[in-house]
C-alpha cells in the first residue's frame, strides 16, 4: 500500500511569518501517528510518536499536547513499525547520519521518506522556538532568538522527514530531524548529534496530502515558487 505524508501549511508560508493555527492535534492524529511540527505562534517544537504529540516548549520542557491544541506547521504519517531494522554504527555528527541515510534515498530521491532512528545518543543538540506575538516576524528573524539545549547519554528516537527538492517552498527540502527522549523529558529540533549505534527504520512515501491554512496571515503571504530559503536559518 502506498504511504501518505500529511502536511499542514507550507514551509514558505512559515518562513513568511504565517504562524497562526493551520491544524489541530486532534485533526492531524486522525490521519497520522508519527512526524514533526511547530506550535501555533511558534510556541515550541513538536514531535509525533506512537499517536501522541509532544511539545518541546521554549524553555525545553516536554509536555503532551491536548487534542484542541494547534500547530502552525506539521508533517506526519502512519509509520510502518514493521519496516526492517537497520543498524547504523559510528555516527559522529548530523552530517555523518545524513551520509548514512543517503543510499536509502538515492534509489528514488523524488519520493518522500520518514525515519525513526533509536538508541543511546552520546550527545544531542536541539533547539526550540520562542513564542511570538502579532504582528509576527518572518522566520529568519524569529530564529535569532531561539533556545538551544545540549543533552548527553540520552536514550530516545530521532524522527525525520525527507522531502524532495522539487517541492522546495511547499516543503522544506532534504532532511528535517526532531528528537524525543524515551522518558519524554528531552526533545526539540535537532541541530547536531552523535551516537555509537542506532537502530533505523525507514518508510518510503508515495503520496502527499497538503492542508492549506484558512487564515488571514496565510492569505496575505506573498508566496513564490522555487527553492525554500530555509538554509539561511541553519536547518
CATH at residue 116: 3.30.1330.80
DSSP secondary structure code for residue 31 in this structure: T
Task: Specify the pTM.
Answer: 0.94
Looking at the 3D structure of the chain, how many domains does it have?
1
Residue 226's pLDDT is: 53
pLDDT level of residue 112 (50, 70, 90 thresholds) = very high
Render pLDDT for 95-109 as a digit per residue (tens, 0 to 9). Answer: 999 999 999 999 999
pLDDT level of residue 225 (50, 70, 90 thresholds) = low
Classify burial at 51, counting beta carbons within 10 Å of its beta carbon; exposed 0-12, middle 13-18, buried 19 or more. exposed
16 torsion bin: left (phi>0), alpha (psi -120 to 50), beta (else)? alpha
Q: Is the dihedral of CA 68, 158, 162, 208 positive or negative?
A: negative
C-alpha cell of residue 56: 518541546
Contact (CB, 8 A) for 146 and 234? no
223 phi/psi in degrees, rounded to 5: -85, 140
Residue 25's pLDDT is: 99
Tell me the sheet residues that pair with 213.
none
Mean pLDDT of 16-35: 98
State which residues form the domain around 21: 4-233
Contact (CB, 8 A) for 191 and 125? yes
Residue 217's pLDDT is: 87
Contacts of 229 (CB under 8 A, 6+ apart): 12, 15, 140
Amino acid at each position: 500500500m502506498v504511504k501518505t505524508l500529511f502536511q499542514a501549511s507550507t514551509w514558505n508560508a512559515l518562513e513568511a511569518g504565517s504562524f497562526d493555527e493551520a491544524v489541530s492535534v486532534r485533526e492531524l492524529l486522525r490521519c497520522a501517528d508519527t512526524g514533526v511540527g511547530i506550535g501555533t505562534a511558534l510556541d515550541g517544537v513538536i514531535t509525533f510518536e506512537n499517536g501522541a504529540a509532544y511539545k518541546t516548549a521554549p524553555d525545553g520542557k516536554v509536555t503532551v499536547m491536548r487534542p484542541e491544541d494547534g500547530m502552525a506547521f506539521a508533517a506526519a504519517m502512519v509509520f510502518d513499525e514493521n519496516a526492517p531494522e537497520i543498524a547504523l554504527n559510528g555516527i559522529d555528527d548530523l552530517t555523518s547520519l545524513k551520509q548514512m541515510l543517503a543510499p536509502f534515498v538515492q534509489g528514488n530521491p523524488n519520493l518522500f521518506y520518514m525515519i525513526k532512528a533509536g538508541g543511546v545518543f552520546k550527545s544531542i543538540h536541539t533547539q526550540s522556538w520562542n513564542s511570538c506575538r502579532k504582528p509576527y516576524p518572518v522566520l529568519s528573524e524569529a530564529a535569532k532568538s531561539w533556545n538551544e539545549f545540549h543533552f548527553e547519554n540520552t536514550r530516545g528516537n530521532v524522527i525525520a522527514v525527507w522531502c524532495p527538492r522539487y517541492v522546495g517552498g511547499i516543503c522544506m527540502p532534504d532532511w528535517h530531524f526532531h528528537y524525543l527522549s524515551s522518558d519524554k523529558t528531552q526533545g526539540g529540533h535537532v541541530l547536531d548529534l552523535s551516537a555509537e549505534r542506532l537502530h533505523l527504520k525507514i518508510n518510503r512515501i508515495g503520496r502527499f496530502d497538503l492542508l492549506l491554512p484558512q487564515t488571514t496571515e496565510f492569505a496575505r503571504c506573498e508566496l513564490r515558487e522555487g527553492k525554500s530559503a530555509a538554509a539561511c536559518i541553519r536547518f
